[in-house]
Amino acid sequence: MKCKLLFICLFFTHMGIGQTAIVKLSGSIFGAQTDTLFVSQMYDNNRVKDFDTIIMDKAGKFSADLILPREDYYLLRLENTNIHLVCRNQSDIKIYGDGKKLNDFCNILNSDESASMNTFVKEIERFQLKNDSAIAAVKKDPSQSESINQYMQKEYYAFQNKLKVFVGSNSNSAALVVALSAINLDQDPKTYASIIQQLNKSFPNSLTVQKYTENFEKIMLEKEKNKPLGIGKLAPDFEELMLDRKTALKLSDLRGKVVLIDFWASWCGPCRRENPNVVKTYNRYKEKGFTIMSVSLDKDLAKWEAAIEADQLSWPNHVSDLGGWQSKVSRLYQVGSVPFTVLIDAEGKIIKTNLRGSALESELEKIFK
């Protein structure tokens, strides 16, 4: 996964007359600290736009006939809790829950899509909490990094399995929009494209879907135009300073060896969790003509050096301009997330990109058989 926060961001654009959606929301939410519900959407910069308010009675019951700008994704907000809703024209959605624990106890009727969305949003939030806790624990006690990384690697694969089940069980459902926030477009463009296609079939009038589609097409077009990493192409050469901040190393200096260019950073949880696999692969093939050139997106020299030592990255080829995401090499290779890898042959030509774990092992087995 990317080393970024996972969240649902629903896009909003002003609507014209004649495209409204009539939606009824009713139900009861007991134990809330307030009697006010907000029907909202979120801009792509995380600013909330409220369309209507609903007042609950003393027992928490409510009923409202709403005229919304159009069919789309909306939020029913109670204090700091959001309920994600798929609002189609003539929807009659019923919501029942505990106002004190609405994230855990909320039942949505007459909208299976909304119910599925909220269930998977909880899965995303649970995994993100574990990921954040793991990063904090490694920072607090680096000696525990290996065991924590192993634990989180299992959690990551478990989450990926849940993601696959969710996508498979919600075929052509508007609920699939939440999966887009959990998929790395760089690593799995086919699944991302498939979901975009399904959403355009299931919810074509949604501005959220239209916005996701426009952004996806724009990104893919730009990638195609500027793709420097096609298989068989010569990997762009670069020169960067090593750990001692005196010695410069060129990628072409390693010509004659199979090289894994590994973009990573000390602050990147997924990178650190992948490092034991990288170390294992290096140790297995280093005598056969394989090496690694690690390109760090760190800004802090001390933290970069400490992470190399803690993760036992014993190969000598560590470089960085300490420019973070503005690193010259990362921009040259159009790195959008880390970890990111490029495997090149002894002549400097690209074999494959974004190989990790068993996929990298399998590719090297074919090369060195």
Mode of pairing for the β-strands spanning 258-264 and 340-344: antiparallel
Q: In the prediction, which pLDDT does 223 show? A: 76
- Rounded CA gap, 7 and 128, in Å? 9
If you average pLDDT over every residue of the chain, what do you get? 91
Q: What is the pTM (predicted TM-score) of this model?
A: 0.59
Percent of the chain with pLDDT over 90: 82
User: What is the CATH code for 21-110?
Assistant: 2.60.40
114 — phi, psi (to 5°)? -65, -40
Q: In the prediction, which pLDDT does 347 show? A: 97
Instruction: Please report, for residues 97, 99, 226, 262, 266, the alpha-carbon distance to residue 223 in angstroms, rounded to integers and kept in the order given.
Output: 45, 45, 5, 20, 27
Could you give the residue ranges of the DSSP H alpha helices within 170-231?
Answer: 189-202, 207-225
164 — phi, psi (to 5°)? -60, -45
Contacts with 288 (C-beta within 8 Å, 6 or more apart), sequence order: 368
- Rounded CA gap, 111 and 86, in Å? 7
- The H or E element spanning position 85 is strand 81-87
Structure tokens at 261: 């260019």
For the chain, the structural domain boundaries read 21-110, 121-225, 239-367
- Rounded CA gap, 171 and 113, in Å? 11
133, 139 Cβ separation under 8 angstroms: no
Q: In the prediction, which pLDDT does 19 show? A: 78
Contacts with 333 (C-beta within 8 Å, 6 or more apart), sequence order: 228, 229, 236, 261, 263, 340, 342
Q: How many CA atoms lie within 13 A of 337 on its CB side?
A: 14
- Rounded CA gap, 320 and 239, in Å? 10
Q: What single string gives the DSSP state of each residue in 26-41?
A: EEEEET-S-SEEEEEE
What is the per-residue pLDDT across 303-341, written as a single tens digit (0 to 9) for each?
999 999 999 999 999 999 999 999 999 999 989 899 999
Omega before 339 cis (within 30°)? yes
What is the per-residue pLDDT across 56-100, written as a single tens digit (0 to 9) for each?
999 999 999 999 999 999 999 998 899 999 999 999 999 999 999
Q: Radius of gyration of the chain from Cα atoms?
A: 24
From 260, 247, 237, select the one nearest 319 (Cα to Cα): 247
> Mean pLDDT per segment of 10 residues, for the chain of length 369 residues?
40 49 96 95 82 96 96 94 96 96 92 96 94 92 90 92 95 95 89 95 94 92 73 93 97 98 97 96 97 97 97 98 95 93 96 92 94
- Rounded CA gap, 10 and 49, in Å? 11
- The H or E element spanning position 161 is helix 145-169
Structure tokens at 328: 């010259």
CATH class of this structure's domain 239-367: alpha beta
Q: In the prediction, which pLDDT does 225 show? A: 66
140, with CB counted inside 10 A (0-12, 13-18, 19+), is exposed
